[in-house]
Amino acid sequence: MEKCKLIQVESPEKGAEKFYQLIKEELEHNRLHVLGLATGSTMIPVYKKLTESELDFSDVTTFNLDEYVGLPASSPNSYAYFMNEHLFNKKTFKETNIPDGTAENLEEECKRYEQALQDAKLDIQLLGVGENGHIAFNEPGTPKDSVTHVAQLTDSTLGVNSQYFENDEKIPNTALTMGIASIMSAKKLVLLAFGEKKRPAIEKVLEGKIDPDWTITYLLEHGNVTIITDLEF
Ligand code: GLP
C-alpha cells in the first residue's frame, strides 16, 4: 500500500499554483481527458488560477463530485451555480457533468451518473475534505464499495456548510454524491486541504490506517494520491 504524497505549500494561492502546474503537465502529455471537480471555499483560488491561465480545456470532460438535493442550478447555493460562477462561465470545456439534485427519481439519477462516470473514466479527481474527514459527501461510516448515492448529511456538515448559504435558503439535509468506489476509480487523486480546521482529517491519513469514520482515510488504498496542504506536520 503506497502512502499519499504530501506537498506542503505556504498558502492556498501557492496550493492553487501547484494544482495548475500538475494539470498543465497532464494536458501537455495528453493524459487529461476526464477531470473530476470539487466545490467548497478551498476550490475558489484553484478555479481563479485556472480561469486566469492559458490552459485549454476544450477537449476535457468534467464530472463534479456532488450536489444538494432539491437545489436547481439557478440557486446561488447549488454546486451547479458555484461551478458556473467560478469556472464554467469563464473557461470552455468539452462537456460538464453535475448530478441533478432536482431529478424526479433520485435513485435513477445516481445510477445514470455513475454509469456516465464509469464510461468516461476519470483521469484525475480533485478533492477537498470536510472537517469531519468526509470526501465529496461521503459522511463517516460510508462503505468503501459505495457508488453514486443519496447521502444523508450529518449535523457537523450541515453546521459547517450552512454558513455559506445565501438568501435565507435552508440547507438541504440530503445530497447526491459520488461514492468512495466512484472516487477511487480515478487514475489520480489530488486533495487540497488548507487551514487548521482540516488538520484532524489530514492527521488521520498520516496515521496510515483505514478508519471508515474518517472516509478520507480510504485514499490510503489508492496508490496515486497527492495531498496539497498549507499545514505543517
Ligand atoms: C462540502 C463538499 C466537499 C468539500 C467540503 C469542504 O462538504 N461536499 O466536497 O470538500 O465541502 O469545503 P471547504 O472547501 O469549504 O472547506
**Nearest by Cα to 45 from 98, 9, 6, 81:** 9
Distances from the Cα of 182 to the Cα of 68, 74, 97, 105, 125, angstroms? 18, 27, 14, 20, 10
Q: What is the mean pLDDT of residues 91-108?
A: 98
Kindly report, residue by residue over 24-58, the tens digit of the pLDDT.
999 999 999 999 999 999 999 999 999 999 999 99
Check whether 2 has a pLDDT greater than 80: no
Q: Are 224 and 187 in contact (CB under 8 A)?
A: yes
Q: What is the mean pLDDT of residues 129-147?
A: 97
Q: Are 71 and 101 in contact (CB under 8 A)?
A: yes
pLDDT at 1: 46
Q: What are 87's three cell numbers?
A: 469556472
Check whether 150 has a pLDDT greater than 90: yes
Q: What is the mean pLDDT of residues 83-100?
A: 98
How far is the centre of ligand 1, averaged over its atoms, from the C-alpha of 126 (Å)? 11
Ligand 1 atom closest to the CA of 175, numbered from 1:
8
Q: Are 217 and 210 in contact (CB under 8 A)?
A: yes
Percent of the chain with pLDDT over 90: 98
Q: What is the mean pLDDT of residues 157-177?
A: 95
pLDDT at 3: 73
Whether 119 sits among the annotated catalytic residues: the reply is no
Kindly report, residue by residue over 195-230, the tens digit of the pLDDT.
999 999 999 999 999 999 999 999 999 999 999 999
Check whether 157 has a pLDDT greater than 80: yes
Whether 139 sits among the annotated catalytic residues: the reply is yes
Q: What is the mean pLDDT of residues 59-83?
A: 98
List residues near ligand 1 (CB under 6 A): 38-42, 65-66, 128-130, 136-137, 157, 161
How far is the centre of ligand 1, averaged over its atoms, from the C-alpha of 40 (Å)? 4
Task: Show the domains of the chain with their CATH numbers.
Answer: 4-229 (3.40.50.1360)
Cα Rg of the chain, angstroms: 16
**Nearest by Cα to 128 from 150, 154, 171, 161:** 161
> Mapping DSSP to helix (H, G, I), strand (E, B) and coil, where does residue 184 land?
helix
CA distance linking residue 223 with residue 221, whole number of Å: 6
Q: What are 176's three cell numbers?
A: 447526491
Whether 168 sits among the annotated catalytic residues: the reply is no
Mutate to test the pocket of ligand 1, among 86, 161, 196 (most ligand atoms within 8 A of CB): 161
Q: What is the mean pLDDT of residues 126-147?
A: 97
pTM: 0.97
